[in-house]
Amino acid sequence: MRGGVYEGFDVVFLGSVFTHMRPADTTRYVREIGRVLKTGGRCFATFFLLNTESVASIEKGRSSLDFRYPLDGCLTIDKRTLERAVGYHEGVVREMFGKEKLTVVEPVRFGSWSGRSDCLGYQDIVIAKKAG
């Protein structure tokens, strides 16, 4: 460990973690991911990403999740159990990763939750690589 930076991992995997976390906690996790990943290492994480297409799908009732309740800069589907499902604006996620020198590898693999077809899974998949 050098100056609080560990850089010991090639891969960090978070399946269905950020989909149940508030932004402050997600930011803390992403900071730690940036700290522990080796240069060139990758992070695989799933989200419910809100963007033009997914928001339009929600509004048209094609999405299986109805993100409508504000929660610390993101949206949730349940105002009583806030972490039941949390949706993040795609730009916010990209910015969060970018601050930690983690570059989102294109394309983002969007999930079927928003009514899309031809998906790899239910949640949106973000892969980020640590820059050198």
Q: Which amino acid, 35?
A: R
Query: What is the band of 132 on the pLDDT scale with cuts at 50, 70, 90?
Result: confident
Domains contained in the chain, CATH given: 9-130 (3.40.50.150)
Q: Is the pLDDT of residue 2 over 60?
A: no
pTM of the prediction? 0.93
Per the prediction, the chain carries an average pLDDT of 95
| pLDDT in the model for residue 4 | 63
Does the structure show a pLDDT above 90 at 32? yes
Half-sphere exposure of 85 (CA within 13 A, CB side): 15
> What mean pLDDT comes out for the span 20-32?
97
User: In DSSP terms, which residues pair with 74 in a beta bridge?
Assistant: 71
Instruction: Answer whether residue 3 shows pLDDT above 60.
Output: no
Distance CA(19)–CA(126), nearest Å, equals 12
